[in-house]
A and B are shown apart, each in its own frame.
Chain A
């Protein structure tokens, strides 16, 4: 075990701590806490869970939440599968255009989600998209439908698994895989028995980040979904709708639900990682 060398504590140490904690507190922690507070607290009434009761009794809201969950889970599964495959390709093989592909993977992070949405409409739009009419005549609707929402969500969260997995793959190297091969393991056996256990934590972390990001996707989904109540309205779109319609209590409540799932995801990873580190 490597010992961590700590710099001696000086007054500057405490000043820096206050600055960092203050910055994170004002930018992240306090606003999120306020969302939670406002979800349960109504001025002049006090604490109430009325907003939540209302949401759970509103079939259209329940549909929006369900749609968000389905889109997020499917998009995460897609990105898990493709993310691990692409990572393996990028780290373990050489092919022309590899650097270009590697650069393109970061595109979804740098492009505004609105642009992603518009781009998808251009390609898959039912009326005058590049590929959309062909699919439409085959009975497959993408834009203004669930597949479009899933695609938009998958697009924006594409790099998260890959960026977690690639550095770990590079770090573990190929010797263990070569050793497994010399012991008779085929490539599939090597992947399941050696490579995957080696990148397990990176994959789990990438999946949780992807899931959290997918649950919260707004811009791209807004463009491709059409925001049809009870059909293609997702939870994030519902938050905006409620907020604009002066149902702030309801907006905070849905926002609280969305944020809670993300926080729970991160907490699960935190606990799993700590346990993993102890076993090791």
Chain B
């Protein structure tokens, strides 16, 4: 087990940032800390890095108690949301920083920096200053800089948060491939559930200073532990008093089971290949359903049409919390 966090509490005055966190992160995996803003995920990452001191509890990295070790001695690579590029140093010098601090021989540093710049596709920019790079390039430089010290764990704080949607997606795929190549234990913080589901081997859902659920993307999506996890990981709607994913709602012109509810289509929204229906059932429940465009056309669905909504057999549902009804 690469990182073991146990009994960690952290308060800022009256604000409880982390409450009794126990977490084990396995070696060599890509783990996402996922949660809403202000939920404590960044604080947890910074506690692991040694950039924050927990009020109580311990952090063990690769079997070594790191709780009282300063960040310098933990051998962690940390990547910041806003890159934290050393503005006065060239790209190559940025990457070389950790090695120069470690007083490695010049030839070794040059070789290692060359390899890393190759890995992050920045070789031709070695002599540029960070200000001459795009956001995505800067973040790749920051990643190479963190990898240069051969860290036991790589920690990324919302690494793609400051980038535009297209670059974000590219970097996300690239991070996954890079991890498959380098295999360093990696923890990254994100508030984007799509990013976590797509990239991570394991997801830790953090909310209000505590951990809601730990599991693989499949486990979290298919068997969420509670309504918070279910609604954070994707769209949800209520059907017959249960929470269900809109794409698990079947829409038919006639009832197909005893669970079918009658209602009228109150809104049809087309988004690309997808059609999103709002159905008002006769019991007064508002149900959202997602269908493909072709399917919707075959059913001749339009506003005011009379339909039946049924949970798809085998779909995961959970009782809706009473407050949300």
Contact = CB atoms under 8 A, between A and B. Distances in A.
Interface of A: 172, 175-176, 178-186, 189, 193-194, 197-198, 200, 280
Contacts of A197: 88-89
Contacts of A189: 101
Contacts of A184: 72-73, 75, 98, 101-102, 149
Nearest to A1: B131
B72 A186 contact: yes
A178 B87 contact: no
B315 to A, nearest CB: 45
Given A179-B80, A197-B89, 15 more contacts: A172-B87, A175-B80, A175-B82, A176-B86, A179-B84, A179-B86, A182-B50, A182-B71, A182-B78, A184-B149, A185-B97, A193-B97, A194-B86, A198-B87, A200-B88
Contacts of B17: none
Interface string B63-100: 00000001111111110101011111100000001100
Contacts of A181: 51, 70-72
A43 to B, nearest CB: 54
Nearest to B99: A183
- Chain B CB within 10 Å — which of A176, A179, A184 has the most? A179
Given A175-B82, A175-B84, A182 B129 contact: no
A186 B73 CA distance: 10
B30 interface: no
A184 B149 CA distance: 9
Interface string B102-129: 1000000000000000000000000001
Given A175-B80, A198-B88, A182 B102 contact: no
B280 interface: no
Interface in B234-250: none
Interface of B: 49-51, 70-78, 80, 82, 84-89, 97-98, 101-102, 129, 131, 142, 145-146, 148-149
A175 B138 CA distance: 14
- Chain A CB within 10 Å — which of B73, B97, B131 has the most? B97
Contacts of A179: 78, 80, 84, 86, 142, 145
B43 to A, nearest CB: 14
B185 to A, nearest CB: 15
8 contacts: A179-B86, A181-B71, A183-B97, A183-B98, A183-B101, A184-B73, A184-B102, A198-B88
Nearest to A182: B78
Contacts of B51: 178, 181-182
Nearest to A194: B86
Contact of A178 (B71, B88, B98, B145): B71
Contacts of A180: 86, 97
A228 B129 CA distance: 55
A39 to B, nearest CB: 42
Given A183-B149, A198-B87, A178 B102 contact: no
Contacts of B146: 182-183
Nearest to B81: A175
A191 to B, nearest CB: 13
Contacts of A280: 129, 131
A183 B74 CA distance: 9
Nearest to A197: B88
Nearest to B82: A175
- Which 3 residue pairs of A and B lie closest in terms of their CB atoms, listed nearest first? A183-B98, A175-B84, A179-B84
B80 A185 contact: no
A176 B49 contact: no
Nearest to A177: B84
A108 B324 CA distance: 63
B101 A178 contact: no
A249 to B, nearest CB: 49
Contacts of A182: 49-51, 71-72, 74, 76-78, 146
B67 to A, nearest CB: 17
A104 B231 CA distance: 54
A159 B86 CA distance: 28
